[in-house]
């Protein structure tokens, strides 16, 4: 493969479609490298995003780009506004709130590039980083791929990188890695396509057996079942941690959200119901909890909007988490 430094210096006209820091910071890097952005299309941001639609509007005003705020990009009037910007070579779309149909994708000769936090084709759809942690995968994939109308995360993969996952990896670490890597990977993908419009790293399999669809997770999915093993519960805690609302259970009449924990084995042979508090460590505030298989050491929790160590709330080994 020819080094990127030797690839054509031709600059692209790039449409920005999407939300979140990944989209915003990709736009900044493309501008820094001389690419032109004639239009920015966004919609209402999700609560966990660093950048709002106002930030995208301010960027559009700063660079003289057309700005459109809509969750319905496929409407004829929006398509006409895109066409009014003249020929646009390619689009970058990340975290847009709606499905983008062929009428829009076909406007861009080089297609629309999407950043997907899943090891395609295995992890398609939603919440793939969280599902990968829950499933005990040893890595999370980040793919820049071309979008195909009417199909989910199915187009040619242009660039791919991996983030290693271990027992204590939290989902927020994956998001920070994705934030760091996505802009550069988008730039790399566009640079490859500048040289060869038909370039791809990998064509995705068309066999449905090779795909694994992830569906959205809700805050209720973070409910801890203490009859599960300590490792299963730890994975749920890590997959539900920041920027999400956290894994949770009940402590007496209060909700306790568990942010940090680790698998714990002190060699004790015991008889206990799952959720039983087995030890309170007053030196560091951690608490040991018995699960359906093994123990879990929890170290960081929130109760009644107060975040602290669990020993600040759990005062007796006669207590039980449910």
pTM: 0.89
Which residues are bridge partners to 163 per DSSP?
Answer: 140
pLDDT tens digits, the chain, 322 residues: what are they? Answer: 334 443 345 799 999 999 999 999 999 999 999 999 999 999 999 888 889 999 999 999 999 999 999 999 999 999 999 999 999 999 999 999 888 999 999 999 999 999 999 999 889 989 999 999 999 999 999 999 999 987 778 899 999 999 999 999 999 999 999 999 999 999 999 999 999 999 999 999 888 888 899 999 999 999 999 999 999 999 999 999 999 999 999 999 999 999 999 999 999 999 999 999 999 999 999 999 999 999 999 999 999 999 999 999 999 999 999 9
Q: Do residues 85 and 38 touch, judged by C-beta distance below 8 A? A: yes
Closest-CA residue to 320 (of 287, 282, 286): 287
Judged by DSSP in three states, 16 sits in strand
Q: What 8-state DSSP symbol labels residue 29?
A: H
Q: Do residues 89 and 109 touch, judged by C-beta distance below 8 A? A: yes
Domain 219-312 has CATH 3.30.390.10: no
Q: Would you kindly state where each structural domain of the chain is located, as residue ranges?
A: 4-214, 219-312
ω into 221 cis (within 30 of 0): no
Give yes or no on whether 4-214 and 219-312 have one common fold.
Answer: no
- The structural architecture, per CATH, of the domain 4-214 is 3-Layer(aba) Sandwich (3.40)
Q: Do residues 160 and 201 touch, judged by C-beta distance below 8 A? A: yes
């Amino acid at each position: 493969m020819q080094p990127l430094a030797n690839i054509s210096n031709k600059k692209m006209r790039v449409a920005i479609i999407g939300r979140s820091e990944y989209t915003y910071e990709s736009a900044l890097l493309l501008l820094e490298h001389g690419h032109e952005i004639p239009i920015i299309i966004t919609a209402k941001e999700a609560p966990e995003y660093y950048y709002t639609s106002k930030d995208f509007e301010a960027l559009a005003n700063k660079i003289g780009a057309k700005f459109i705020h809509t969750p319905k990009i496929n409407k004829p009037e929006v398509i006409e506004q895109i066409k009014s910007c003249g020929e646009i070579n390619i689009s970058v779309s990340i975290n847009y709130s709606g499905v983008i149909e062929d009428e829009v994708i076909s406007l861009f000769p080089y297609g629309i590039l999407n950043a997907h936090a899943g090891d395609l084709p295995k992890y398609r759809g939603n919440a793939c980083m969280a599902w990968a942690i829950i499933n005990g995968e040893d890595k999370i994939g980040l793919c820049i791929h071309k979008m195909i109308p009417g199909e989910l995360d199915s187009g040619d993969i242009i660039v791919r990188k991996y983030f290693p996952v271990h027992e204590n990896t939290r989902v927020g670490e994956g998001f920070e890695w994705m934030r760091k890597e996505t802009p550069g990977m988008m730039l790399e993908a566009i640079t490859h396509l500048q040289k060869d419009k038909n370039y791809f790293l990998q064509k995705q399999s068309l066999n449905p057996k090779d795909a694994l669809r992830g569906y959205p997770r809700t805050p209720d999915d973070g409910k801890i079942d203490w009859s599960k093993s300590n490792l299963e519960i730890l994975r749920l805690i890590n997959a539900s941690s920041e920027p999400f609302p956290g894994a949770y259970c009940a402590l007496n009449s209060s909700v306790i959200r568990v942010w940090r924990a680790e698998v714990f084995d002190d060699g004790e042979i015991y008889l206990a119901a799952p959720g039983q508090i087995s030890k309170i460590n007053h030196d560091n505030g951690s608490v040991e909890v018995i699960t359906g298989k093994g123990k879990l050491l929890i170290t960081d929790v929130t109760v009644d909007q107060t975040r602290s160590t669990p020993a600040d709330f759990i005062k007796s080994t006669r207590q039980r988490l449910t």
